[in-house]
Amino acid sequence: MQRQQLDGCVALVTGGAVRIGNAIAHALADEGCGVVVHYRNSAKEAEALCRALHAKGVEAWRVRGNLARASDCERLIQEAGEKAGRLDVLINNAAVFNACPMGDISSGALEEEFRINLFAPILLTRHFAGIAKTGRIVNLLDRRIAAHDTMRIPYVLTKKALAEFTRSAALALAPRFTVNGVAPGPVLPPPGKSRSYLKTRAGTIPLGSPVAVDEVARAVVYLASSPSITGQIVFVDGGQHLLGEGV
Ligand SMILES: NC(=O)c1ccc[n+]([C@@H]2O[C@H](COP(=O)([O-])OP(=O)(O)OC[C@H]3O[C@@H](n4cnc5c(N)ncnc54)[C@H](OP(=O)(O)O)[C@@H]3O)[C@@H](O)[C@H]2O)c1
């Protein structure tokens, strides 16, 4: 049933070349969905991913853009639609994850995080809704939307605001679009950190272990496939959101 929903569709995955975005692109392709891989710096990885998706028998394209620029957000949607000939699904995956405790907060730090993590998904949604008759949108959030992280104050604010936008957009764009969120717990350590980082820095995980990247991708695909679910946020976090306030 899911495969029928996405077979022959085209999805744009922001920050799709590497890490979680790469897994989402593969999971969409496994459902027969073509993928437009958005990247900024990971050009080689985007090219390699497109080759891997072609090898699976689905179409794949690349688009480059800086999501900190509003003009790039509008161009990306247009370019994705033109290259692929259609656009059915938008996965807002790209983000920055900067350490920024209270003493480091500046207008520049806030602006970077908000432009990329919040303004870009909102603008992409708005432009997608402007060119497509119907569609599915999934926003990558973070289990920290149910907590506080005083080491990453701007990051957490952007994800909490994006969770609210997810619900607003679900209502504003119904019945043409569904808009949902996936809130992962610890999946991959930040670039440059080893897997042991997750054990020491990821906090308590009630179910005991970090989340497999494929599980996040499967949740995204499920939400992108469903014609009846909108305004939902699925935590894929080993139960961390149940612990509430702490980091
Ligand atoms: N990793 C985790 O454990 C975890 C946990 C909770 C939530 N999440 C959320 O899940 C999503 C994916 O996580 P991730 O760790 O895979 O992400 P990531 O590796 O930190 O970032 C994904 C991509 O975002 C792109 N990006 C960043 N700034 C950009 C800009 N200005 N313009 C265009 N693209 C930009 C980069 O693409 P290029 O490389 O092409 O430049 C980057 O590779 C994020 O939204 C994150 O907040 C992740």
State in Å: Cα 15 to ligand 1 middle: 6
Q: Is any ligand 1 atom within 6 A of the Cβ of residue 113?
A: no
* pTM (whole model) above 0.95: yes
Q: Is 11 in the pocket of ligand 1 (CB under 6 A)?
A: no
Statement: residue 3 has pLDDT above 50: yes
Q: Please check whether residue 225 is in contact with residue 182, taking contact to mean a CB–CB distance below 8 angstroms.
A: no
d(CA 3, CA 216): 17
**Does residue 116 line the site of ligand 1, with CB under 6 A?**
yes
197 is catalytic: no
Interval between CA 139 and ligand 1 midpoint (Å): 12
Tell me if residue 139 falls in helix, strand or coil.
strand
Break the chain into its structural domains and give their ranges.
Answer: 2-243
Cβ(152)–Cβ(97) under 8 Å?
yes
113 alpha carbon – ligand 1 mean position (Å): 12
Please check whether residue 188 is in contact with residue 19, taking contact to mean a CB–CB distance below 8 angstroms.
Answer: yes
Q: Is the pLDDT of residue 2 over 60?
A: no
- Rounded mean pLDDT of the chain? 95
Note the pLDDT tens digit of each residue in 208-247: 999 999 999 999 999 999 999 999 999 999 999 999 766 5
Domain 2-243, what architecture?
A: 3-Layer(aba) Sandwich (3.40)
Quote the crossing angle between the two packed helices 43-55 and 19-30, to the nearest 10°.
20
Listed range (11-20, 97-106, 202-211, 227-236) with the worst mean pLDDT = 202-211
Residues with Cβ within 8 Å of 122's Cβ and at least 6 positions away in sequence, in order, are 162, 165, 169
